[in-house]
Every structure is written in C-alpha cells, then in structure tokens.
Structure 1
C-alpha cells in the first residue's frame, strides 16, 4: 500500500476547513472525518447516486408510493420527511429510468411508413368493361401530404426564410432519415419538456382546488409524487415479459385510478367532485403533454 491508499482516520482537525472535529463529521462544513481514496466500485456507486437514487430512503418510499396514493405527499406536508426520498429526487429517479428503458427497448417512437417505390393497382370503369393497370412510383399519399402542407411551409418561409428552408429540408429527407431525426429529437428534448410541465400541472391543481387554501408548493409536491409513480409504472409495463402479459391489465388499471385516489387522500372532498376534477386534470395534462412534446421535437429539428 502507498500512503495515498491508506485510510486516513479522524485526526481531530477537518482536512477541508481545519475546524476541530470530535465525531464522524465536521460540525463546521459537514465533511466526513474518516477519509480514504475511493475504490473503483465506490466511485461508480457515487457517480450513479448523483443521478439515480438506488438505496436508503428510496426503498422506504416505494411502499408508500406504490400502495398508498397520496401518502408521501401527506407525510411531507405534515413534516415527516427525512425517512423518505425527497420528492424531486424521486421524480428524477423514475423519469431517468423510464426514458432509459424506453430508449433501449427498441420501441418505435414514430413510424412514417415506407417511401420505397410501390406498385399500386388502380381499378377504372368505362362504358365497355373494367380494366386494370399497374402504376409504379412513390405512394400517392406522400405527394398529397406535401401538397397539403405546402401553404404552411410557404407561410413559415415568408415569416422566416431560414426556418422555412429547414422545414423544407426535413420534408425532403427520406422517410427513414426523418424517423431517425424525430427519434433523436424525442429522446434529447422530451424529458426536459415533460419536466417543464410540472409547474403547469401544479397550476391546474391550484385552479381546480382554489377554495381549499392549499399553497402552490403543495400542488407542485403532489405533482412530483404522482408523476414519479406514473414513470415507475410505465417502466414496469415496459419490463413485463410475454409470459406475464396477464399483469398488464391490473397494472394499467392501477395506473389509471391512482391519481383520483391520491387526489381524494390529499385534498379530500366528495368522490364525485374528485372524479370530475380528475377528468378535467387528465384532459388538460394530456393535451399539454402532446403540445409540449411536439413543440420540443419541432424546436430540436429546426434548431
């Protein structure tokens, strides 16, 4: 062993701020008193832990998150926080896991069809008889699509020539290249767009529960917990093997009804009123998600 690899035990003085220490941590700056050069395993664990919570409070939080809708939100509001993972960390953990699984699952983000030349059978009828003729070429709907959006492309070009050129360049790409560009844009920007909707989700709750006296921060907290659960369930559904397909229905139903149950636990009120608010909130959130994802992908493609 070299001097650099030997454990450095507490010597009574913090190596970071030089304050006197008498325990496992410095009371002045919080650095550990027992230091050693990390092993490769410890370094890897520390690196991953910066992005995904894998131990400790995460496992204590899972039971409440999965089986008790709204429980973690109530616990946090009532001051019982240290025993559970922080809401933002919980959200980031499961959102990162979901998008990583989705990216490597091989599922198609979007399928624009095939742009290879095809043979189309056209049936025509005249006064004498029916005849068939073969027409070879690209699919007709591709040409129709370009003609239908031509005014839009022209309008964009009139407002911004550079942007119009980028739109036209994307439309001129082969289908497979368009799909690849859309896929890259989706995974590069969609996670940020979805996270950016959390304040909007909280705003919807603030409007729906304006008479409850809840603060905006409480609605934001509720949004982090419920969306963390959604990412967790989507991840589980992605991982279900074909032999366990029968689990998809109950898990999907639990995912669907989790939000109203959480709303009822946290906000109270009559079940009918909660159900109506759930429907409005779901419609608004889904619409916002679609608009945010489309806008993020468009900005990525045109950037």
Structure 2
C-alpha cells in the first residue's frame, strides 16, 4: 500500500518524471485523491464549483462497463471528470427530471384508468330516481372535468367511462320501477366511510418505542403529527409527495454510496485496495445508474409526446426494457473488470452483494417515503 503522504516519482497519467506537486507535461496533480482523505475532501468541495469540457469524454467512457473506474484507479485522472463531481451532476439532474416526468394528479389517474371512480353500493343504495340521479351526477362531475382538459384524440377512454356510468344509472332506475323498495322504519343506518380528512382530525397517539431514548420518541411523535396534518393536502395534491420524495433522493444517495463502498471493501478484503478506491467504484456505479434512469425518464417523456405516432410506443417500450436489463449486466461486467477475479467468483459476489444492497435500498426507500410525508 502507498503512504498517504508520498507521491510517485513519475506522473501516473503520462509517466513523465515529476519535479513538484504537478506534472509539467499534462498538469495532473501528483497527489492521488484515493490515497489521502485531505485531498478527497478538497475534491468534494471543488466538485460543486468547477465543470469543463471533459464531461463529454467522461460520459463516453462511463457507458463502457468498468472502463472509467479502471482508468481512474490506474492514475489516468486529468482527462476525466472526478467521480464525486460526475455523481453530483448526474444525480441532481436525474431527479430534477424525475420531478418533471412523474405526475400523479386527478387527471393522470383518470386517463390511466378509464373505469369510473367506484362508490361501493352507491347505485344499489339509491332508493328513488332522485337519489340515482344524484349519484350519477356525482360520478360524472370529475369525468366531465377531465374530458374538457384533454385533447380530442385522447377522450375515448373518458367517453367510455361516462357511458358506463349512464348504463349503471339506467339499470338501477329500471330495478326501482320493477321492484319498488318497501318503506321500513327500522332501516339500518349506513355507516359513513372513514376518510383521509377523518384521519387528519384524529390526533396521533404518542410514539413509544421501548429501546429508543425519550428525545427520539418525542421527535417521532412530532413527525407522525406532521404527517397526519399533511394527509389532506396529499390526498388533494399527490404531486407534492412525489416532488418531496425525488427532492430527497440525492441526499439519501450520499449515505447509500459510502455504504455500498463499505460492502465492496468487505467483499474484496484481499484485493489490497483502500476504502477510497472502493468509493470510486461505488461513485461511478451510481453515476451510471443515474444516467440509465435519466435515459428511461427521457424516453418515457418522449413516449408521452408521440402517442399519435404508430409504433412509437412499442419501440420506446423495447428501449426502456433493454435499458432496465442492461443495468445489472453493466454492474456485473464493471465489477469483473475493476477487480479482475474470475467470472464465477465475480458472479457469486455480485449476487450476494446485490441482494444485500437491494435490501438496504428497499428499507431506505420506505423510510424516505415516510420522511417525505413530513417535509411537504
């Protein structure tokens, strides 16, 4: 292993003999950021303020599994964007686009599911033609409003839903004519369904988890109360939750990426690599995943604009599927190229590492979703 304070006699990028802290031939620093925490921290701060034309060369190499990480660890750093800077750029850009691409509002739900909103027993519980007409108007109101905001070419599902409501209303009116309900003074009261607004008016019980200190339970109680008060807003504007979630993901990744580097360190204890070298691999891995997700989001947005083009949806669907399938294949090839072990050993480690990290990411996603409810 190299000393944290020593630097090589020759430039690791172009092999020119060094006469100071920088190579006079290519300008690369003699100090490796994977050998010194001080230089690693310096690079983190620099990453927020500097960007140059190397980004295009870096992105090209990023598309080749393991090529960029292997080159960077071999000392070829000056021609590429540093991994932390690349990761910050791609993660922020990806989840900014995600907030634009993912929409969940009343109009979206109606267009995705043409079935009219179900009110259990609504028509069945109507006992007069006037009540049937009242239910019918209540069901048609959101459908008519959505229909007016949609282009003419996309109104067919809404028209079908409206026709279905009319058929249900007509059927119930015929039933009432053929079998009039018998008046009864003992008719049981219909229970009012429990709504989101009812939850907002019911104060949360204090959180009391035995193994947690008092301040932690009080903090969780406060978060639960905030979530309870936010539920009516979320039910009316679910996009608020989506925006809060995607806005929090980049911050969560700054915890998950170093954790993934710890897992790499554990799985490759005999590789002789330092933790910061594993962190480089983790950063480039997540940078690629962000780039792939960005591609999927852009393809989905493109598909939404090409609904009238024959065959466009099928082609875009195939491209999205190929991207999703390529993501684990890319990471497997990258792990094989960087660490140089056999395919069998690499596949076994990749499977175990992937399962463990997927479990952590799933738990983090659940926690992040719940935390997002309190940040709206």
Q: Give the TM bin, normalised by the shorter chain.
A: 0.5 to 0.7
Equivalent-residue separation in structure 2 for 1:229 and 1:74 (angstroms): 14
Per-residue CA deviation, residues 43-81 of structure 1 (Å, 9 max, x unaligned), is xxxxxx95784x511111122110x21111111111111
Which segments of 5 or more consecutive residues in structure 2 lack a partner in the other structure? Answer: 1-46, 111-116, 125-187, 304-311
Alignment of 1:266 with 2:263, yes or no, is no
Q: 1:176-255, aligned counterparts within 5 Å?
A: 176=235, 179=238, 182-240=241-299, 241-242=302-303, 243=312, 244-245=315-316, 246-255=318-327
Equivalent-residue separation in structure 1 for 2:371 and 2:263 (angstroms): 25
Structure with the higher strand share, 1 or 2 = 1
How high is the TM-score relative to the length of structure 1?
Answer: 0.65
Alignment coverage as a number of residue pairs: 234
Give secondary structure in 2 for the equivalent of 1:197.
helix
Equivalent-residue separation in structure 2 for 1:101 and 1:235 (angstroms): 7
From 196, 221, 240, the equivalent of 1:164 is: 221
Equivalent-residue separation in structure 2 for 1:287 and 1:51 (angstroms): 34
Per-residue CA deviation, residues 123-167 of structure 1 (Å, 9 max, x unaligned), is 9xxxxxxxxx99574369x89xx8xxx9x9554499545642541
Equivalent-residue separation in structure 2 for 1:259 and 1:101 (angstroms): 23
Tell me, yes or no, if the aligned pair for 2:258 and 2:279 is still in contact at 8 Å. yes
From 335, 346, 356, the equivalent of 1:284 is: 356
How high is the TM-score relative to the length of structure 2?
Answer: 0.53
Equivalent-residue separation in structure 2 for 1:165 and 1:93 (angstroms): 34
Per-residue CA deviation, residues 197-251 of structure 1 (Å, 9 max, x unaligned), is 1110000001111121111111100011111011001001111132241212222
Give the equivalent residue in structure 1 for 2:193. Answer: 138
Which segments of 5 or more consecutive residues in structure 1 lack a partner in the other structure? Answer: 1-48, 124-132
Deviates more, 1:57-66 or 1:257-266: 57-66
Give the equivalent residue in structure 2 for 1:81. Answer: 77
In structure 2, the CA distance between the partners of 1:179 and 1:218, relative to structure 1 (3 Å rule), is same
RMSD: 3.7
Tell me, yes or no, if the aligned pair for 1:194 and 1:292 is still in contact at 8 Å. no
